[in-house]
Structure 1
């Protein structure tokens, strides 16, 4: 008899007959007649957890090893594995599972079931696959104590750690919902997490978003809606209705040894409902976003600077700024969430870095996604560095373009917000061209959310490197103008990262510093001043609206009133109790132009580390406000090469070259660390030459939007 004949005989002997027992629940389940399918490695506690979950929910519990395989085979699983060997056992086990049926039960799969694709496709149709993601050391300890002898691979002498590593890819492939188990979690604690995870999956309507200015009963707006819409219809910004999910210390400690993409995946799974973006799709997007397109394998490494100060390097992405950390992922989320019937034009206002990052991110889309999605960037013609301008203009053709505006960032941003609020324009573009407007600025929730990851990751890096233990406080100091980066740190704290203070660093456009000092936001007598740190040359901080919503306990009426007053009168003041709550979470300071350049020079002379001018602003403010009782992490938001003329001035370099490419090459020879940014250098080629420029006229920008849509139609 040939090998196929022998295998068929084995199947006939080992497979359960069609008359074998099926499990049908007679009680209603939170998933209706669907099963809860517990998946995980050997030693994850699937059997025990399954029984506890079943008891909590009043449902039948089925253990595939004990109740299906051994009943059908009438032999212990270990004996069958010993007689067949690993490969033939997996096939027999998989075929047995294909014959299994149940309804409304808690089913504990075997650790090797996910290795059989046909079997997993069969059972996945009947229920929700819940992955018990248990710490590897916990598993090894349990298996050693249990003396388990029925694990495929053991018979060939493969080390258990290697077996677990190999199988992880299959668990990641088949999961619908992950239960992240903290180190030392008991089976009872894991079971409680399973119940909550299943309830979360079932109750998607509770995981919705509201406008910061909304009043009364708002519509149920899900993640997919807010990604595509960008700005709420009432002019407010979207925030989670129930706030951010909070992770316990055990869960955070699991992330310490993980890579940046792994951390990002697990954190974003907590924040994005799996019905909106499936676990498999999210994993694909995250690992594409944070891969070889970053010049550092660590993606966002943390480096020691001096004493208790550390630098979070956020400039290793394709366009050399922190915006890449969000904008390599956000376009994928956007394309995934798009309705099928429309084309979209993404409007972006930039003070420098966002523009090239958006063009790079959306330029990575392909096929139908690229054809349906266009990008139009407005930037202040005289308000960005020459290298930033060349980066934006270097993206020619494809689905994106950049246009200069003879005004400042605030005018560009205000104009885009106005377009969203003009129903006549929005309706005309939809009817005439089948095109809907959206945005990729940090007012879009999908832009802000990925930034929570790097603030969390920096804390975990300090834990991994032994600088702190989990639970120890840190401060973060962030150069900010639009408050998005700072707001993402506030949200990281809300998720459970032990951030003590968020310190906002302003240049001499000190609107945020003054606001947190006095409670008064006053634009009436201010004009925007050019600076060495142009990315934070902003007077109207959009994401401050989200912070006020947070600090006021979700008082959308108050937030709407304050920003209506700002639009009408260019001024508002918050009451003393609210200001006090704001100051408990956020401190702010500012930096003069001379102090900025001096910081670049001093740090380079002392350490050999070359900061960009925005990082220097954070350094000056941290020196002033840091009390020395805990580490402070400075957000280094851009590579120094993007602001070469100011850096040359700081270093006292005489007669630097005028050509931006030559400037970067000279800086490469001047700086010991961090190294040159090859992607930025390559991106400058093709950016020179004439480009579109608009006057500071809203109607002209509106006409530019329609002309871009018309040309693409």
Structure 2
């Protein structure tokens, strides 16, 4: 049976999976959600014996029902190949009583690779299925990781162009170097004078600009998105939670149907929403632990039921989470509002108008599966240092936020029996200065690449190719603009007058 997708803001807008992937965002500014969440039709015993690629097929076929088996398997096999530096794609590492799900073994050493390695293949297949003749222009805002992962995925993919906006002073030096050295004639990277929320809002405005869409269509282009607002990004993220559970079972860590907790460092809410979807597909997940940094808008939401972005924007050592508008939360709000598009649209209008909304007590009751908390900058550094000193295992700043919140969860609930998976979302090599500073201040005098070498030495970990290749890479993208110049910059790159 074909699974259709509907907008979170308009129940009348219905599309197939491939159309939702191509559009990225619904016409009314809403996000596409499946009309119902499918259930897995494989037992945990069957899943336990599967490779990552096989697991991906079993999960994704339930969501992408208008793809043939051959089309979907071709996309999966092209995505999860030798560009990952471990055979298992997403290994689990036990350290200090938790299981770290390492999601950073792809070509840009961040969890975004898990979905952005497959999205270009899904998109090109979707374009063929829907007889699209235009070139697809991927328009994306990034808080650091999505940008490089999307650029790497789409570079030189025929029939596509990709434009990435990032906050000029809001990403790590390694993150920026990864983006501005990106090769590919179809790639364009732009720093903006502003923060991530302004970049994301600017991108959404361009998506909603009907006049600009008509101008681009006349020139042979149409927009789509590689942000986690695209359902083609979200569905592949569900896979690694299913895979992690099956591997824990296969390795004898958990018994049949034993529940686990999942901790996710969270900014735009897509990664933890994928865990929520995995739970609703039948994976026995107990608590979904939502970890925030000092931009704790989600912690406050789970605590009070009020989402309020009216606050100071903090620049932290975990920049991919420096977000005050968590776009993917809209998909959860829609669900706990009883899949009521009109009700959800009212909440989003309030957010747009007043910067906040408050959910009803009945909706708040449906959030019982979530636990929210946050770590300060000092606590984040402490988690990195403590784990290293205890075990020799080195984590990045985002993963450290998750570890810190996990420890607060244990203190609050005394739930020491439930096995816990922590989503390790980036390699420590991506945030070397913050990580090495946390371990010992003596490293502060080193250059960025001296820090890379030292981290490799003390952690006894090979330097990833993604870092080696940017040591001497030429800076190819130097454009910087104001937020209100974003549409003009897009047109200039596409030669649209």
| SS of corresponding position for 1:384 | coil
The structure 2 residue matched to 1:661, chosen from 437, 449, 452, is 449
The structure 2 residue matched to 1:256, chosen from 29, 48, 53, is 48
CA distance in 2, matches of 1:534, 1:219: 35
CA distance in 1, matches of 2:446, 2:149: 24
CA distance in 2, matches of 1:266, 1:477: 24
Determine which structure has greater relative contact order: mean sequence separation of CA pairs < 8 Å that are 6+ residues apart, divided by chain length: 2
Match of 2:199 in 1: 412
1:245 and 2:34 aligned: no
CA distance in 2, matches of 1:685, 1:255: 43
Match of 2:78 in 1: 288
1:387 and 2:174 aligned: yes
Match of 2:330 in 1: 545
Match of 2:424 in 1: 636
Match of 2:125 in 1: 336
Number of matched residues? 490
1:488 and 2:274 aligned: yes
CA distance in 2, matches of 1:310, 1:468: 12
Check whether the contact 1:387–1:684 (CA below 8 A) recurs between aligned residues. Answer: no
| SS of corresponding position for 2:417 | coil
1:649 and 2:437 aligned: yes
With over 3 angstroms needed to count, the CA separation of the structure-2 counterparts of 1:282 and 1:684, relative to structure 1, is farther
Match of 2:370 in 1: 586
Match of 1:319 in 2: 108
1:453 and 2:239 aligned: yes
CA distance in 1, matches of 2:235, 2:442: 43
Check whether the contact 1:318–1:680 (CA below 8 A) recurs between aligned residues. Answer: no
Match of 1:701 in 2: 486
CA distance in 1, matches of 2:403, 2:7: 35
CA distance in 2, matches of 1:364, 1:397: 5
With over 3 angstroms needed to count, the CA separation of the structure-2 counterparts of 1:474 and 1:655, relative to structure 1, is closer
- How many angstroms does 1:656 deviate by? 4.3
CA distance in 2, matches of 1:653, 1:297: 35
- How many angstroms does 1:446 deviate by? 0.0
The structure 1 residue matched to 2:7, chosen from 192, 211, 215, is 211
- How many angstroms does 1:658 deviate by? 5.3
- How many angstroms does 1:663 deviate by? 2.3
| SS of corresponding position for 2:111 | coil
Check whether the contact 1:562–1:572 (CA below 8 A) recurs between aligned residues. Answer: yes
CA distance in 2, matches of 1:655, 1:261: 40
- How many angstroms does 1:689 deviate by? 6.9
| SS of corresponding position for 2:184 | coil
What does 1:502-513 correspond to in 2, within 5 Å?
Answer: 502-513=288-299
1:567 and 2:360 aligned: no
The structure 1 residue matched to 2:64, chosen from 238, 260, 272, is 272
| SS of corresponding position for 1:654 | helix
Match of 1:441 in 2: 227
User: Larger Cα Rg: Structure 1 or Structure 2?
Assistant: 1
CA distance in 1, matches of 2:18, 2:476: 39
Check whether the contact 1:391–1:687 (CA below 8 A) recurs between aligned residues. Answer: no
CA distance in 1, matches of 2:197, 2:13: 30
- How many angstroms does 1:580 deviate by? 1.5
What does 1:93-108 correspond to in 2, within 5 Å?
Answer: none
Deviation string for 1:360-415 (max 9, x for gaps)? 111263xxxx2x20000000000000000000112133211211011000000001
With over 3 angstroms needed to count, the CA separation of the structure-2 counterparts of 1:689 and 1:426, relative to structure 1, is closer
Check whether the contact 1:377–1:403 (CA below 8 A) recurs between aligned residues. Answer: yes
CA distance in 2, matches of 1:460, 1:639: 23
TM-score, normalised to structure 2's length? 0.96
What does 1:9-408 correspond to in 2, within 5 Å?
Answer: 200=1, 204=2, 207-215=3-11, 218-241=12-35, 243-248=36-41, 251-273=43-65, 276-307=66-97, 309-338=98-127, 339-363=131-155, 365=157, 370=158, 372-408=159-195
Deviation string for 1:78-127 (max 9, x for gaps)? xxxxxxxxxxxxxxxxxxxxxxxxxxxxxxxxxxxxxxxxxxxxxxxxxx
With over 3 angstroms needed to count, the CA separation of the structure-2 counterparts of 1:213 and 1:471, relative to structure 1, is same
- How many angstroms does 1:247 deviate by? 2.1
- How many angstroms does 1:655 deviate by? 4.5
- How many angstroms does 1:272 deviate by? 1.2
Match of 1:516 in 2: 302
Please provide the CA RMSD for this pair.
1.6
| SS of corresponding position for 1:344 | strand
CA distance in 1, matches of 2:256, 2:202: 44
- How many angstroms does 1:688 deviate by? 3.8
- How many angstroms does 1:470 deviate by? 2.7
Check whether the contact 2:437–2:444 (CA below 8 A) recurs between aligned residues. Answer: no
Match of 1:529 in 2: 314
CA distance in 2, matches of 1:662, 1:443: 37
- How many angstroms does 1:314 deviate by? 0.4
Deviation string for 1:480-539 (max 9, x for gaps)? 110000100000011111011111100011000000000111122x12111011110000
Check whether the contact 2:265–2:321 (CA below 8 A) recurs between aligned residues. Answer: yes
CA distance in 1, matches of 2:170, 2:487: 21
CA distance in 2, matches of 1:332, 1:662: 37
- How many angstroms does 1:447 deviate by? 0.6
Match of 1:89 in 2: none
CA distance in 1, matches of 2:477, 2:217: 31
Deviation string for 1:241-282 (max 9, x for gaps)? 1x221125x533201011111111121122211xx3211121
Instruction: Choose 648-657 or 456-465, whichever is displaced more.
Output: 648-657
With over 3 angstroms needed to count, the CA separation of the structure-2 counterparts of 1:458 and 1:684, relative to structure 1, is farther
CA distance in 2, matches of 1:670, 1:657: 17
Check whether the contact 2:263–2:288 (CA below 8 A) recurs between aligned residues. Answer: yes
Deviation string for 1:135-181 (max 9, x for gaps)? xxxxxxxxxxxxxxxxxxxxxxxxxxxxxxxxxxxxxxxxxxxxxxx
With over 3 angstroms needed to count, the CA separation of the structure-2 counterparts of 1:690 and 1:334, relative to structure 1, is closer
- How many angstroms does 1:685 deviate by? 3.6
1:425 and 2:212 aligned: yes
Deviation string for 1:558-613 (max 9, x for gaps)? 1100000110111111111111111x121110000000000000000000000101
What does 1:598-637 correspond to in 2, within 5 Å?
Answer: 598-626=382-410, 627-637=415-425
With over 3 angstroms needed to count, the CA separation of the structure-2 counterparts of 1:675 and 1:462, relative to structure 1, is farther
CA distance in 1, matches of 2:254, 2:462: 27
